């Protein structure tokens, strides 16, 4: 008696499975990947993106995943490979992505403010007072891809000869190296300086140079996103509740900043990249490169 019942039960299960397999209305939700630079620390709270992630998932009926990169170098690799669908891009990453037409700008991540600048920082007891005093000194820069930590300071240091350049993985590391005397000066954004200086209360720093304005970051969309999905994302991101947009750091109503001048600045810095790992570091293009810096 047991065997026939077991066979009938197994047959019923098989019918159910076949029914599910043949149900053409069942579809696997598409995946939307959100990318951003986090540094793995508190200056970018990933919890702030939960509301946005849940909102986009509900509206587009997609699986939405947040993928942080812990510095600009890793983020650039993801952007070049178009691994992220939506990118909350810092200015340096936005400039590269838009210049190479790798991504399309969607929304501004804020208006230009006094914190969208690059600073050159030294210890308060350092005799260094201005950029020419950095001649034959060692400085810390951020990773390639960073506007305030890499491109802008290189531009401002153009023509100088340095003993060495060291590349810090995060802005906090820049201040740590300055504090410890491992470098004479370091470059980071004004915003990150205000965040991290509080963690070095026993050390006083001073600013020897403040850069020009840097455009705000931009929310970017990958060209690999299907057109109907792209229209959905644009619509829902523009209609997002204000508190969710604020936490995610973008302003639906703000104009996308003009990046032409900043892209040109990056192009003028590019010829210096052949020099930055030499010792000493002569921040002038090699003789074979006729590119000159002009304001």
Q: Are residues 51 and 169 in the same domain?
A: no
Tell me the whole-structure pTM to 2 decimals.
0.81
Tell me what pLDDT residue 293 has: 59
Q: Are residues 96 and 158 in the same domain?
A: no
How many domains does the chain fold into?
A: 2
Tell me what pLDDT residue 30 has: 85
Q: Are residues 129 and 199 in the same domain?
A: yes
Does a structural domain hold residue 3? no
Tell me what pLDDT residue 15 has: 43
Q: Are residues 172 and 278 in the same domain?
A: yes
Q: Are residues 234 and 185 in the same domain?
A: no
Does a structural domain hold residue 23? no
Q: Are residues 164 and 276 in the same domain?
A: yes
CB 289 within 8 A of CB 271: yes
Tell me what pLDDT residue 44 has: 54
Closest C-alpha among 115, 93, 144, 145 to residue 43: 115
Tell me what pLDDT residue 288 has: 59
Q: Are residues 81 and 206 in the same domain?
A: no
Tokens of 242: 């204000």
Question: Structural domain of residue 242, as residue ranges?
Answer: 31-112+215-257
Task: Name the DSSP letter for residue 225.
Answer: S
Does a structural domain hold residue 289? no
Our CA angle for 126, 43, 170, nearest 5°, is: 55
Does a structural domain hold residue 266? yes
Does a structural domain hold residue 295? no
Using CB atoms within 10 Å of the CB of residue 178, give its burial: 0 to 12 exposed, 13 to 18 middle, 19+ buried.
buried
Q: Are residues 171 and 232 in the same domain?
A: no
**Residues 247-271: pLDDT tens digits?**
999 999 999 999 999 999 999 999 9
Along the chain (295 residues), what's the average pLDDT of each consecutive run of 10 residues?
A: 47 44 50 87 71 95 92 91 94 91 90 73 97 98 94 97 96 96 96 91 94 93 92 95 93 91 93 92 79 54
Closest C-alpha among 143, 132, 242 to residue 188: 143
Does a structural domain hold residue 47? yes
Q: Are residues 175 and 271 in the same domain?
A: yes
Q: Are residues 191 and 273 in the same domain?
A: yes
Tell me what pLDDT residue 100 has: 81
Does a structural domain hold residue 21? no
Rounded CA separation 93/220 (Å):
10
Q: Are residues 202 and 243 in the same domain?
A: no
Q: Are residues 35 and 99 in the same domain?
A: yes
Backbone angles phi, psi at 251, to 5 degrees: -125, 105
Does a structural domain hold residue 294? no
Domain of residue 231, CATH code? 3.40.190.10
In total, the chain counts a number of residues equal to: 295
Within 63-113, strands assigned E span 63-69, 86-89, 104-108
């Amino acid at each position: 008696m047991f065997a026939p019942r077991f066979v009938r039960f197994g047959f019923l299960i098989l019918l159910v499975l076949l029914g599910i397999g043949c149900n053409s209305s069942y579809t696997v939700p598409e995946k939307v990947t959100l990318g951003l630079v986090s540094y793995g620390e508190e200056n970018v709270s990933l919890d702030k993106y939960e509301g946005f992630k849940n909102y986009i998932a509900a509206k587009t009926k997609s699986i939405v995943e947040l993928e942080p990169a812990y510095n600009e170098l890793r983020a650039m690799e993801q952007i070049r490979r178009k691994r992220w669908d939506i990118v909350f891009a810092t200015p340096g990453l936005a400039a590269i992505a838009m210049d190479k037409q790798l991504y399309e700008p969607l929304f501004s991540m804020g208006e230009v403010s006094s914190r969208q600048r690059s600073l050159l920082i030294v210890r308060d007891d350092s005799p260094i007072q201005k950029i020419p005093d950095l001649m034959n000194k060692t400085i810390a820069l951020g990773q390639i891809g960073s506007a305030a930590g890499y491109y802008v300071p290189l531009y401002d240091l153009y023509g100088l000869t340095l003993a060495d350049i060291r590349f810090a993985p995060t802005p906090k590391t820049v201040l740590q190296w300055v504090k410890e005397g491992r470098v004479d000066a370091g470059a980071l954004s004004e915003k990150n300086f205000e965040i991290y200086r509080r963690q070095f209360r026993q050390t006083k720093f001073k600013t020897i140079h403040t850069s020009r304005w840097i455009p705000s970051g931009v929310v970017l969309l990958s060209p690999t996103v299907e057109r109907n999905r792209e229209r959905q994302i644009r619509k829902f991101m523009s209609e997002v509740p204000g508190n969710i947009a604020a936490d995610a750091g973008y302003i639906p109503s703000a104009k996308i900043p003009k990046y032409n001048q900043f892209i040109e600045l990056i192009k003028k810095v590019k010829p210096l990249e052949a020099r930055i790992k030499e010792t000493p570091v002569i921040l002038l293009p090699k003789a074979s490169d006729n590119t000159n810096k002009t304001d």
